[in-house]
Structure 1
């Protein structure tokens, strides 16, 4: 019987590869005249549960269907983004074209993100999550919940 693999503990921050890709996303977007703001990254299970309550048992609109442990944010594998306008406002306007090249800035950021290996929540069939970017490293949430973890080496 093969020896049982040692399972890594829950992360406490972004996976280094996700962090590096996020930094590249910000830099590559800036070269196109787009300022990307990361509005959320790693989220603890407790924070996730609080977010899940929004629009259910606390005031506000429902923003997630994921409870603690059910989001790639909880494993350091996801970030949410917004755009910053030249006047300094943080916006989630998917039609905004601040660099005035005829292409919505949001679409440009998503294209860069996908090129860096992110999956985009806007491509999901249900509960589209337009600010959400994640790298799952071919691990399902069940894999992550069962203690499997992605590599932590840097991108090359």
Structure 2
């Protein structure tokens, strides 16, 4: 996608912004044009969702060097000026490629939605984004609770009886130790795992949309139902995935 060097918005877009639909579409298109190829593209519509805000924050950090990014694009502001500059694409790509293992530490359930998406295997990531977009179109407010998670966290879940395995598709990684997860836990941010999620049809909708993408839905399992869980590989491939991860 080519970069438009003269975009204009009437009102602010992003966190605590006015978020006029046509302004939001303009910013989303420009972010998609500027962002690194490894990133999942934003769905072009007039809704300023959490992914949009996270992407603006990521742009402000890596391109503008903001220590405290506000997640908002203002008319004639620094962020808008940078979005109009083709050089920003080079900066964003360069700084995003400078990934070190230390960036993947901490509680991964608290990472931003953008970072959780980036922790997924690239092919699986596209399918997860499609699931999120489809659920949003159906009126839900989906978010990733877990993308990648460490083996130590997996062990804790196993010890608490919240997982049947010591290694899961959540733990998959590249040979350099960076995340490459084949699993994601998705919830509606209004309900989490409360009964309201089931009563409002979220889990069944998640299963439907996941299977449309050719993914496995944990809600279909009989021995251990995991309604929030979707994965990009069959359970029979778990040992292979662990070996590929060097674990």
- TM-score category of the 2 structures, normalised to the smaller one: 0.5 to 0.7
Aligned length: 120
Q: TM-score, normalised by structure 1?
A: 0.67
Matched, 1:140 2:246: no
Q: Which has the higher contact order (CA 8 A, sep 6+)?
A: 1
Offset of residue 139 of structure 1: 6.1
Matched, 1:47 2:150: no
Greater percentage in helix: 2
Pick one of 87, 90, 94 that aligns with 2:192: 90
Name the SS of the counterpart of 2:198 in structure 1: coil
Greater percentage in strand: 1
Aligned to 1:65: 164
Offset of residue 80 of structure 1: 0.7
Unpaired segments of 5 or more residues in structure 1? 1-11, 55-61, 98-103, 150-156
Aligned to 2:213: 116
Aligned to 1:100: none
Matched, 1:15 2:117: no
Name the SS of the counterpart of 1:130 in structure 2: coil
Change (3 A) 1:139 1:65: closer
Distance in 1 (CA, whole Å) between partners of 2:163 and 2:146 is 13
Matched, 1:107 2:204: yes
Bigger radius of gyration: 2
| CA deviation map 1:10-43 (0-9, x unaligned) | xx73101122211111111111111112111111
Given that 2:203 and 2:228 are in contact with CA atoms closer than 8 Å, whether structure 1 keeps it comes out as no
Q: TM-score, normalised by structure 2?
A: 0.44
The root-mean-square deviation of aligned C-alpha atoms, in Å, is 2.3
Given that 1:82 and 1:92 are in contact with CA atoms closer than 8 Å, whether structure 2 keeps it comes out as no
Change (3 A) 1:92 1:133: farther
Unpaired segments of 5 or more residues in structure 2? 1-103, 105-118, 173-180
Aligned to 1:131: 228
Aligned to 2:182: 77
Offset of residue 148 of structure 1: 7.5
Distance in 2 (CA, whole Å) between partners of 1:147 and 1:125 is 28
Change (3 A) 1:105 1:92: same
